[in-house]
Amino acid sequence: MTRQLPFDKRVADFTAKSYDAKDHTWCAGCGDAGVLAAIKKVCAALKLPPHWVIDNSGIGCSSKISEYHLCCGFHWLHGRSHPVAMGIQLANPKLVVLNAGGDGDHYAIGMEHFVHACRLNPDITDIVMNNQVYGLTKGQLSPTGHKGLVTPTSPKGAKDEPVDPVPIAIICGATFVARGYSYRQEQLMDLITKGILHRGFSLVDILSPCPTYHKEADYDTVKDYYDENVKDVIDANREMARQGVQVTDVVPDYDPTDKMLALQTVEHIRNMPWCREAECSWQGNTPKDLTVKTEDNVEVYACPTCGSTKVQIGRLPIGLIYKVEGRPTYADNLGLDPAKPLVELDISVAANRKKYEEFFEMFR
């Protein structure tokens, strides 16, 4: 069941350029520019009238996005965007509500709101530019930063278990969970489009590299890090089937409506070891598949095929990971009629007098 999109014939000829607003001020190579480009193209493809699109954003480099495409933008407080987005959607369900922000907004300070949004299923689309750091405040570690990531607040490399919003969202009841990547525009546009059309809460987590503050010692650029690390769930699922890794009884192809498959596939991708040597394309299933050798009195992992120690455990799952249709939305459960937006109610005393008098009588 898809939601109805607002229509206005005046935008019939709109292209992506029609949605230009303020020029962006992001660094060259910022992943957020890819997200912005995708949003403009999706709006044009769906012929969304700008005044019916809400971009409700938090605080940070990524949250500036609401100023950069033509829409009704709302730039609010750090981590507090979900409740506002939910209130806007209740007021007028004709609005297409995009809830943009960074990993700090949605998964750190705003985690309480994120989790409740997942379970309450408001008809909004989270657009999260996830880059493992806090860019605008100059590069501190974000809770999504991987173990070992060096930043000004993790000078010896991050030690804590990172947050992965994908399984959290699935477990908390989100009805649409996807992860895109700024540098795979086609897929990103497809995921955002599907997220908007999905009737319910849609998480579109987007790996959006920060070239200024996200430094990876083992890679030349942060884009290389992401390019090499992303793994589409469809591909992973095929590989798992080929290698005989059974996660459910029948696994012909990736089925995003299967919750257990989604969780297990994501977990598999997060734990799979692989060799980073360009000529070797070895990939295992669990860290146990690696060999262990001793170098300079230190035990290190090595590739069982080529022996190199340039191995890594885990990749970053991307793609349409999980979705379920037909669950009542937040507004449905409140008994709201999408054909009668609250904003159109007649609030004059004259129109409501009889009800007011009846209510008063209840207290006699």
Partner 1 sequence: MVDFSYAVSDRQGGGGYSTISIFARVLKQMGYHVHEQRSVHSNIKGMRCSYYNRSGDERADAIADWIDLHFAFDQESLREDIGLIREGGVLIADISKTSPTQKGQPVKLEEFKDTIAARKIQVLAMSMAEDARKVGGNPIMRNTMALGMAAFALGIDRNTFYQFIQKQYGSKKNGAAIVESNTKAFDHGYDTAAEIQSEMLRKEKRRITVPALGGPDRVVMLGNELVAFGAIVGGCRGFSSYPITPSSETFETMMENMHRFGGVAVQASSELMAVGIVIGLNYAGVRALDATSGPGFSLKAEALSGEGSNEVPLVIELAQRSGPGTGLPTRTAQEDIRMALYAGHGEFPRIVLVPGTPEEHFYLSAQAMNLAEKYQMLVIILTEQCMAQGRFTIDKLDFDRVVIDRGKTLLTEADVTRIVEEGKKYERYLVTADGVSPRALPGVSGVPFYTNSNEHTPMGFSTEDIEHRLSQVRKRARKIETLLRSGDLPGSEIVGSADAKIGFIGCGGVSAPTKEAMKELAEEGVETKFLRLRTLAPFPKDEVRKFVRSCSRVFIVEQNHDAQLREIIQAHVTGPMPRKLRSTLRYDGRPFRPRDIVEAFKRGGEYQ
Q: Which residue ranges make up the site for partner 1 (CB under 8 A)?
A: 6, 22, 50-54, 56, 64, 66-67, 70-77, 80-92, 94-95, 112-113, 116, 334-336, 340, 342-345, 347-349, 352-353, 355-357, 359-361, 363-364
Closer residue to partner 1, CB minimum distance, 17 or 355: 355
For the bound state, the minimum distance from the C-beta of residue 88 to partner 1, rounded and expressed in Å, comes to 4
Closer residue to partner 1, CB minimum distance, 82 or 194: 82
Residue 201 tokens, joined? 């809460």
Buried b (16+ CB within 10 A) or exposed e, 329-353: bbbbeeebeeeeeeeeeeeeeeeee
The CA distances from residue 6 to 68, 94, 161, 363, in Å, are 21, 6, 42, 43
Closer residue to partner 1, CB minimum distance, 116 or 223: 116
Closer residue to partner 1, CB minimum distance, 289 or 332: 332
Say how many Å lie between the first and final Cα of the chain, rounded: 47
For the bound state, the minimum distance from the C-beta of residue 20 to partner 1, rounded and expressed in Å, comes to 12
The CA distances from residue 7 to 11, 53, 269, 271, in Å, are 8, 11, 41, 45
Alpha helices in the chain (DSSP H): 32-45, 81-91, 103-104, 111-120, 165-171, 185-197, 222-229, 233-242, 259-271, 330-333, 349-361
For the bound state, the minimum distance from the C-beta of residue 251 to partner 1, rounded and expressed in Å, comes to 37
The CA distances from residue 127 to 159, 270, 315, in Å, are 27, 22, 21
For the bound state, the minimum distance from the C-beta of residue 53 to partner 1, rounded and expressed in Å, comes to 8
Closer residue to partner 1, CB minimum distance, 112 or 325: 112
For the bound state, the minimum distance from the C-beta of residue 353 to partner 1, rounded and expressed in Å, comes to 6
Closer residue to partner 1, CB minimum distance, 83 or 139: 83
Closer residue to partner 1, CB minimum distance, 288 or 364: 364
Residue 110, Cβ neighbours under 10 Å: how many? 26
For the bound state, the minimum distance from the C-beta of residue 1 to partner 1, rounded and expressed in Å, comes to 22
Of residues 262, 259, 274, the one with CA closest to residue 233: 262
For the bound state, the minimum distance from the C-beta of residue 189 to partner 1, rounded and expressed in Å, comes to 21
Beta bridge partners of 203: 126, 177
Query: Residue 332: helix, strand or coil by DSSP?
Result: helix
